[in-house]
Structure 1
Amino acid sequence: MSTILFELGCEELPPKSLKPLRDALQTSVTEQLSAAEITFDSVKAFAAPRRLAIQIEGISDKQPDRTEQKRGPAIKAAFDSDGNPTRAAMGFAKGLGIEASELTTINTDKGDYVGFEQTISGQATTELLPAIFQTALDSLPIAKRMRSGASRNEFVRPVQWVVLMQDDTVIDATIQGHQTGLQTRGHRFHSPDYHDIAHANDYEQLLDGLKVVADFDKRQMLIKNQVKALADEVNSDAIVPQDLLDEVTALVDFPIALRASFEARFLQVPQEALISTMQADQKYFCLTDKTGKLQPYFIFITNIESKDPNQIIEGNEKVVRPRLADAEFFFLQDQKQPLFALTESLKTRVFQDKLGTIWEKSERIAKLAAFIATLMQQQGHDINVDDTVRAGILSKADLASSLVGEYPELQGIAGTYYARLNEEPEAVAASLEEQYLPKFSGDVLPQTPVGICLALADRLDTLVGIFAIDQAPTGSKDPFSLRRSAIGILRILIEKQLPINLVALVEQAIKGYSDAEGSKIAKMGDTFTQVMAFLNSRYRAMYTEQGVSVDTIQAVQAINPHMPLDFDQRIRAVQAFSELSQASMLADSNKRVANILAKSEVDVADTVDEALLSETAEQNLYANVQQAQTVVQPLLEQADYTQVLQTLASLDEPLTQFFDNVMVNSDDEALKNNRLALLKQVRALFLTVADISELQL
């Protein structure tokens, strides 16, 4: 058992790709070793700006020997009547390099054959490793490979050196066009020369001494700890997004965190703009107070241990100042006119070629949002319809601002800042940012009633418009993010407990595309059908992500509820029902009832003639159905679907007895039709909640 060390030394690797490259390299090597039946205790991957490395401990020296059975011709064809080997047997033996007399008999269920068992010696691990590492490098997820100099070998960056060792010995090979050796290089500035690696086990410790923290995760933890310590010194919290942290970790060999500051006057600028420019352009970690308000400090990570850190701090402060000044300039420039004045330029900005301008979209959003606000008012929500209309008109105004022009990610956020500066009602101002929520799966939802109306109206308007011009998503292509928008609509209506019908919303959104000149939507009926089908299809994606089984979703979709909140309540009820002991039997019984009714050649009556109930089992079932109908009715009015199904679980035993003792398809036509009517009532009871026959329990 020994230790293997592989290191690929390069020019600085792309920082955003470093972690994925490390993980892919480790996965590929591990899978190849397992496929080759080479055992090992552990595989550890290293990744730093100028290197990718793998250290394998406790690796076996060779593959295990294996026995392989070769099967030849059938016995009848292998030997003649005198028992002498035929040409077929001799040819088979010659191919294996043995005498025909060494062949054995293999018994199978298809007859007896001649054969031979041969032992194949396992290859030495050192012979297999060069190809394993080269294959792993060739399969790395690299979007664009490059060649360096006259070399024909391709990689993401020019390769400078390759280490491949078993314990203290070099494994002689050529990888990526470079001869393997035992020399590595340290930090580009602190320790740029080549250094010998005495033993494969010494790798990480040696590089630590050469100012390189080779372990990506260890380097990241050092950065997090240093950033937190510097933030604590000024009683602040650091904003540390994982993507930015990964990128910064990939940029440095030897991380040293330093704190710098900027002029407090810049804090009048929307802090989202300052944070955006410092994170995206400078890779800085911003600091906020305990309430989330930006502080005039930032932390950056340097890659050198400077004798005079103040010079580095001053340099970074000098670099960031013009960027913050740009944001300040755009912010002040926008304030020279009120937010509403910016809407004028939206009249010439196209939303979509066939769907008009952004201004026209704003008008449609205002009308649709007002319609939703009226519905919410009727349901007892405290919302001002006039505020909602004003918010709709202003909803896209900030797209014409200088600030959003420079920082597109501030759409909505900038509008909220400007609306407050213009002393618009707070309900209007807050909604301008909230209209874009949720931005991604699991994101927060709009909190204010007006924000909810805008968020729904904006998404519905886009959804209807894009479907109307036949630009619906296909396969993986969804340029308008309609799938995300649809799930956003469903989430808002469900999680905000809004009993609003999708049919009403989609119809109103379609009407929004009509004006005095006619409608921009040619086939209104087709558009309605397609949008409703699309929205209903999103339930599956949304609920499977929450861990709800597909058959539960299908059971509810089978009855096609048009109210998302109602759909959700039914889902929860079916989930609870599935846990009951009677659920499996009732699901099977429902399948049986559905099949019997589907095969009926006559229209089944809705009412049951009690006088025709001759069997005890059918009389008992009828009595239970009658009782269940009485109990269920008020529960349905309260949408207490869970209790409805709990009540219907009591039909388990009567239904089982009915099928055991009653012949539904009686020769007596009147009895048969009456029994079908009874089953129709049973089926109708369950369909008030969901189609239980869809459950696979």
Structure 2
Amino acid sequence: MSEKTFLVEIGTEELPPKALRSLAESFAANFTAELDNAGLAHGNVEWFAAPRRLALKVANLAESQPDREVEKRGPAIAQAFDAEGKPSKAAEGWARGCGITVDQAERLKTDKGEWLLYRAHVKGESTEALVPNMVATSLAKLPIPKLMRWGASDVHFVRPVHTVTLLLGDKVIPATILGIQSDRVIRGHRFMGEPEFTIDNADQYPQILLERGKVIADYEARKAKIKADAEEAARKIGGNADLSESLLEEVASLVEWPVVLTAKFEEKFLAVPAEALVYTMKGDQKYFPVYDNAGKLLPNFIFVANIESKDPTQIISGNEKVVRPRLADAEFFFNTDRKKRLEDHLPRLQTVLFQQQLGTLRDKTDRIQALAGWIAGQIGADVNHATRAGLLSKCDLMTNMVFEFTDTQGVMGMHYARHDGEAEDVAVALNEQYQPRFAGDDLPSNPVACALAIADKMDTLAG
């Protein structure tokens, strides 16, 4: 049986970056299941994903299903005919379902009796005829929480679709998928390479897209390039880049042609707790912070552009201008918050409802304070320090910094407590009260922090 490489590429507008991998993996899994259910022999199913495309490449796909023998057992002879030998309604219905008449049926004799039997040789359908519906079904099953519609069409997908490439070897499989007629046209990078070109054979993908379209369609290759280039860029300035897996994934999903660049910010911002600076760099701007060998934040960051510029200094300067106001905000909030002691925020906790039947954040604070002190006595921790930590535990939620940069809760409480001259184990407890936040997370590092963390979780669970 003849085999060929199959390619499907769905060209879209920018896909949601945080969902790109799951969309591509689901597309591959769905289509593989469709192939297996149809009995189409195939080799490896490889997925590709970039901001403006989802693609699958199937090696050694059979050009048709294998022929097969079909047998369908009908009613027992005793139920298939009446006393006069005429076919019963059950027998006639079964025969119609098989596309024959009762008298054309064979008979199957076994030790347990005799039945009507339909036996036929079914010729396998061509892959060309089967694939369009299989692709459409695979796309319809993608995990898309919110679909969108565009133009005057009733077609729905995660983003508007512009091209559908459907090739079996060098032949276009004619089909209309998501409202688009299939073709051999592929779109390249928005600003580099050829904006549009044709692909002659499925085997040319993804190399032709790399060479002519300036798009690295291989998700893992793109991600690996970003990681390697960022590590090298950090090494050149004597640092180590914070390449968290989640941010790497997101950045790889935002660019088609990654170009890693290094920028800097004013050293005065390093007076602000590093967590706040990192929060805005990673969360808002998708930048990679850089640390020295001692783990201290450097006044540099690494970012990934989606284009090779003739003058990269302009891109660097632009990103430095973008991040500066955010860092200045963090500096302002930090300096403003330090004009008050943490304890001064206690009255405001009374204005924030925690839960209808459990009262305000101040009510929760009072419960945590009492619990933390009691638990400290049971585990040999400093009762006074645990009680103090319980009293201050939610005060940082009322600060400007945490209001603006929500993920800094706890850690900012620690910094402000140190500024206020609180005991070190109290300050650390404010940071570690939410630990462990997930399976495998670090546990609180001192007895006071343990008492506070347990108290906080007990109150949340039991009220």
1:177 aligns with 2:175: no
| CA apart distance, 1:356 | 3.2
Question: 1:404-445: per-residue Cα shift (whole Å, max 9, x none)?
Answer: 111121111111101111221111111111111111222111
| CA apart distance, 1:98 | 5.8
Question: 1:128-175: per-residue Cα shift (whole Å, max 9, x none)?
Answer: 000000111111111121221112211111111111111111111111
Change (3 A) 1:196 1:349: closer
Contact 2:372–2:386 (CA under 8 A) maintained in structure 1: yes
Q: 2:416 maps to which residue?
A: 418
Measured in 1, the distance between the counterparts of 2:401 and 2:337 equals: 7
For 1:612-691, what aligned pairs fall within 5 Å after superposition? Answer: none
Measured in 1, the distance between the counterparts of 2:81 and 2:344 equals: 100
Measured in 1, the distance between the counterparts of 2:192 and 2:264 equals: 27
Q: 2:64 maps to which residue?
A: 62
| CA apart distance, 1:364 | 2.7
Question: 1:368-391: per-residue Cα shift (whole Å, max 9, x none)?
Answer: 2222222223xxxxx332222222
1:387 aligns with 2:390: no
Measured in 2, the distance between the counterparts of 1:74 and 1:408 equals: 72
1:305 to 287, 305, 308: 308
Contact 1:85–1:100 (CA under 8 A) maintained in structure 2: no
Q: Which has the higher contact order (CA 8 A, sep 6+)?
A: 2
Change (3 A) 1:448 1:103: same
Measured in 2, the distance between the counterparts of 1:457 and 1:78 equals: 75
3-state SS of paired residue (1:52): strand
| CA apart distance, 1:46 | 0.8
Q: 1:459 maps to which residue?
A: 457
3-state SS of paired residue (2:421): coil
3-state SS of paired residue (2:253): helix
For 1:204-243, what aligned pairs fall within 5 Å after superposition? Answer: 204-209=206-211, 210-243=213-246
Q: 2:116 maps to which residue?
A: 114
1:427 aligns with 2:429: no
Change (3 A) 1:370 1:102: closer
Q: Which amino acid aligns with 1:299?
A: I
3-state SS of paired residue (2:206): helix
3-state SS of paired residue (1:162): strand
Measured in 2, the distance between the counterparts of 1:358 and 1:367 equals: 14
1:315 aligns with 2:318: yes
Q: 1:289 maps to which residue?
A: 292
| CA apart distance, 1:109 | 5.4
Q: 1:513 maps to which residue?
A: none
Change (3 A) 1:362 1:95: closer
2:135 to 130, 133, 136: 133
3-state SS of paired residue (1:251): coil
Q: 1:581 maps to which residue?
A: none
For 1:430-449, what aligned pairs fall within 5 Å after superposition? Answer: 430-449=428-447
Q: Which amino acid aligns with 1:236?
A: G
CA RMSD of aligned residues (A): 2.1
| CA apart distance, 1:338 | 1.9
Q: 1:23 maps to which residue?
A: 25
Contact 1:77–1:86 (CA under 8 A) maintained in structure 2: no
Question: 1:265-306: per-residue Cα shift (whole Å, max 9, x none)?
Answer: 101111111111111110101111223221111110000001
Question: 1:626-662: per-residue Cα shift (whole Å, max 9, x none)?
Answer: xxxxxxxxxxxxxxxxxxxxxxxxxxxxxxxxxxxxx
* Residue-pair matches, total: 458
TM-score with structure 1 setting the length: 0.63
Decide which structure has the larger Cα Rg and report it: 1
Contact 2:108–2:117 (CA under 8 A) maintained in structure 1: yes
The structure where helix makes up a greater share of residues is 1
Contact 2:13–2:160 (CA under 8 A) maintained in structure 1: yes
| CA apart distance, 1:351 | 3.0
| CA apart distance, 1:33 | 0.2
Percent of counterpart pairs with the same letter?
Answer: 47
Change (3 A) 1:100 1:142: closer
Measured in 2, the distance between the counterparts of 1:188 and 1:34 equals: 37
Contact 1:26–1:43 (CA under 8 A) maintained in structure 2: yes
For 1:164-203, what aligned pairs fall within 5 Å after superposition? Answer: 164-203=166-205
Deviates most, 271-280 or 231-240: 231-240
3-state SS of paired residue (1:428): helix
Question: 1:454-491: per-residue Cα shift (whole Å, max 9, x none)?
Answer: 111122223332xxxxxxxxxxxxxxxxxxxxxxxxxx
Measured in 1, the distance between the counterparts of 2:438 and 2:137 equals: 37
Change (3 A) 1:352 1:77: closer
The structure where strand makes up a greater share of residues is 2
Measured in 2, the distance between the counterparts of 1:418 and 1:74 equals: 85
Contact 1:391–1:432 (CA under 8 A) maintained in structure 2: yes
Contact 2:87–2:102 (CA under 8 A) maintained in structure 1: no
Change (3 A) 1:162 1:80: closer
Question: 1:340-387: per-residue Cα shift (whole Å, max 9, x none)?
Answer: 22223223333333333323332332222222222223xxxxx33222
Change (3 A) 1:464 1:87: closer
Change (3 A) 1:279 1:79: closer
Q: Which amino acid aligns with 1:394?
A: L
Question: 1:184-214: per-residue Cα shift (whole Å, max 9, x none)?
Answer: 0111111353211011000111011121000
Q: 2:351 maps to which residue?
A: 348
Q: 2:274 maps to which residue?
A: 271
Unaligned runs of 5+ in 2: none
Measured in 1, the distance between the counterparts of 2:419 and 2:365 equals: 21
TM-score with structure 2 setting the length: 0.94
Contact 1:65–1:120 (CA under 8 A) maintained in structure 2: yes
Unaligned runs of 5+ in 1: 378-382, 466-697
Q: 1:671 maps to which residue?
A: none
Change (3 A) 1:94 1:303: closer
Measured in 2, the distance between the counterparts of 1:100 and 1:340 equals: 91
